């Protein structure tokens, strides 16, 4: 019976680069590993671009008109999604609105006229940024009022809270503490 060392079983798949151990700075791998990581993060962030839902068949041949259409579309809310512009939404209603914007621009309407047309047809809710007017004053002032009321409430709470009373020891208690300290 021979005592042989067992052969290590080779791994069938090497560990992926993200799971490999990064050498510590004492091992000489700190700075270069950090530089590589920073470069990878920068490269990933550079590739992030906004996703537009505009289909190729919607794009106008005139680049100036297309640019104006994109700017107007960025100001209009998708009535289905409600938190996206029509330029970013894939909803069929958003596509219809994008086509309306492009049709109005091709007929010669100004940007303001296109926005007015869409607002007249769908209401002010279609605007991502509501207008500042008397009927929307509460909408614009609510955040300011909430902060002011919260600050006032905190101020009142701080003023109402009494300071903790400072209590001194009686002579009997002081003698008891001194006796306890002497024992130790």
Q: What's the structural domain count of the chain? A: 1
Closest-CA residue to 122 (of 78, 71, 70) = 78
Domain of 95, CATH number, reads 1.10.8.640
Residues 6+ apart with CB under 8 A from 124: 130, 131, 136
Answer yes or no: is 143 within a domain: no
Range of the domain at 109: 63-126
Q: Per this entry, what is the length of the chain?
A: 184
Answer yes or no: is 181 within a domain: no
pLDDT tens profile 41-67: 777 766 665 555 666 666 777 788 888
Residues 6+ apart with CB under 8 A from 24: 30
Beta bridge partners of 77: 85
pTM: predicted TM-score of the whole model, two decimal places: 0.51
pLDDT band at 172 (very low <50, low <70, confident <90, very high): very high
The pLDDT of residue 94 is above 90: no
């Amino acid at each position: 019976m021979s005592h042989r060392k067992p052969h290590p079983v080779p791994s069938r798949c090497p560990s992926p680069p993200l799971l490999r151990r990064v050498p510590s700075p004492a091992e000489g791998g700190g700075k270069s590993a950090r530089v590589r990581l920073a470069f990878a993060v920068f490269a990933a962030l550079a590739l992030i671009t906004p996703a537009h839902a505009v289909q190729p068949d919607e794009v106008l041949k005139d680049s100036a008109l297309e640019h104006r259409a994109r700017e107007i579309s960025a100001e209009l809310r998708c009535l289905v999604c409600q938190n996206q512009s029509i330029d970013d939404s894939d909803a069929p209603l958003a596509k219809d609105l994008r086509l309306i914007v492009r049709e109005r621009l091709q007929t010669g309407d100004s940007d303001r006229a296109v926005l007015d047309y869409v607002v007249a047809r769908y209401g002010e809710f279609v605007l991502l940024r509501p207008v500042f007017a008397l009927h929307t004053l509460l909408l614009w002032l609510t955040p300011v009022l909430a902060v002011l009321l919260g600050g006032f409430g905190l101020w009142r709470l701080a003023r109402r809270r009494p300071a903790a009373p400072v209590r001194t020891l009686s002579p009997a208690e002081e003698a008891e503490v001194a006796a306890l300290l002497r024992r130790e």
